[in-house]
Structure 1
C-alpha cells in the first residue's frame, strides 16, 4: 500500500522504540498486552524473542527494536506487546510486536501523511507506509503487512504451529 492509497482519515496507534515514534493502523491491532514471560524458541532469527500463550494460542513475539537495528528491548514498567494481524499470502497471521511503550491513538488525515523518504537503493523502506506529523513530531507509519519478510512470517508461522 502506498500513501496514495490512503484516501480517508484513519486512526493510528503510536508506540515508542528507543526515542523514535512509530505508528500502525488501529485496524491491524488486536490488543495490547503487558510484558509477560516469553518462551524462547531455538534457531529462530535474533529479533524473534520467542512465543507467548494468548488464551491457548501460541503467538510469536518479535522485538521491533532488533528488527529495526536498535539495541534489544529492555523490560520496563511500560514495555508491552502489541498483538497485530499481518496479512501474508491471503492468510492472517497473529504476531506480537514488542515495544518500549504505547503512546496514544489518534487520527491522521491523508494530507497529513507524506511518502516515506527514499534513502538510496541499499536501504529497504518498503515497510514504511509514510511519515505522519503529530504534535510537531514525525511519526513513521508502518505497513505492518510488509514489515516482516515472507521468510520471517513463514518462520513465525512454523514456530507458532510447532509450539502449539
Structure 2
C-alpha cells in the first residue's frame, strides 16, 4: 500500500512540474491590471516629450524620441475605452512608456505607474475562450486572465491589439517624422 501512495505522489509531482512559469510585465489601465509577456517588452523608460501627429486616431498620442529612435506612442486606456469618466487624457500623468519592439515595428505604450514583473504558472492562466463567449467581442488580443492570489490580471498580446491598417499608418507616420 505504501508503494502505491509513493507512485501516486510521484505522478502528481510530475504533473505539477509540466507547467512552466510565465514572466509577465504587469501594469494598470483604468481600474484593472493588465500584463504583457516579458518577451514583448524591450525596455521601460520615463516618458519623453510626445509630439502630436495630425490625422491619427485618438489613442495615438504622437511620436517621441527614445534613444535616438522616433516611435509612435499609444494610449491603451484610450484604445480600450477605459478613459471614459476619468481625467482628460492630456492632463493625465503618464510617467512611463513600455517600449515594444518586433521585426516590423517599434511602439511605445503609456502607463501611469512603474510596471512590475510577475512570475506565474501557466496553470494559473485561464484562456479567454473559457471566459468570453460573446461572438461580437473583439478579444483576439486578450490571451487570458491570470490569477495571482485575489488578483485577476488580463493578459494581452500587444502585437494583436492594433489592426494591420493601424500598424501600417503608424509606421508611415514614423517614417515621415
Give, in angstroms, the shift of residue 135 of structure 1: 3.2
Give the whole-Å Cα distance in 1 for the aligned partners of 2:96 and 2:77. Answer: 13
Instruction: Give yes or no for the alignment of 1:157 onto 2:171.
Output: yes
| 1:130 matched residue in structure 2 | 144
Structure with the greater relative contact order (CA < 8 A, sep ≥ 6): 1 or 2? Answer: 1
TM-score for the superposition, normalised by structure 2: 0.80
Q: Secondary structure at the match of 2:105?
A: strand
Larger Rg: 2
Give the whole-Å Cα distance in 2 for the aligned partners of 1:48 and 1:36. Answer: 15
Residue ranges of structure 2 left out of the alignment (5+ in a row): 1-18, 84-88
Give the whole-Å Cα distance in 2 for the aligned partners of 1:99 and 1:26. Answer: 15
Residue ranges of structure 1 left out of the alignment (5+ in a row): 1-6
Instruction: Give yes or no for the alignment of 1:75 onto 2:87.
Output: no
Which has a greater percent of helix?
Answer: 2
Give, in angstroms, the shift of residue 93 of structure 1: 1.1
Tell me how large the CA RMSD over aligned residues is: 1.6
| 1:43 matched residue in structure 2 | 55
Preserved CA contact (<8 Å) 2:48 2:66 = no
Instruction: Give yes or no for the alignment of 1:15 onto 2:27.
Output: yes
Give, in angstroms, the shift of residue 74 of structure 1: 4.2
Preserved CA contact (<8 Å) 1:41 1:51 = yes
Give the whole-Å Cα distance in 2 for the aligned partners of 1:114 and 1:136. Answer: 14
Q: How many pairs are equivalent?
A: 152
Question: Residues 63-102 of structure 1: matches in 2 within 5 Å?
Answer: 63-71=75-83, 72=89, 74-76=91-93, 79-86=95-102, 91-102=103-114
The 1:55/1:103 distance shift into structure 2, 3 A limit, reads closer
| 2:68 matched residue in structure 1 | 56
Give, in angstroms, the shift of residue 118 of structure 1: 1.8
Range that drifts further, 20-29 or 100-109: 100-109
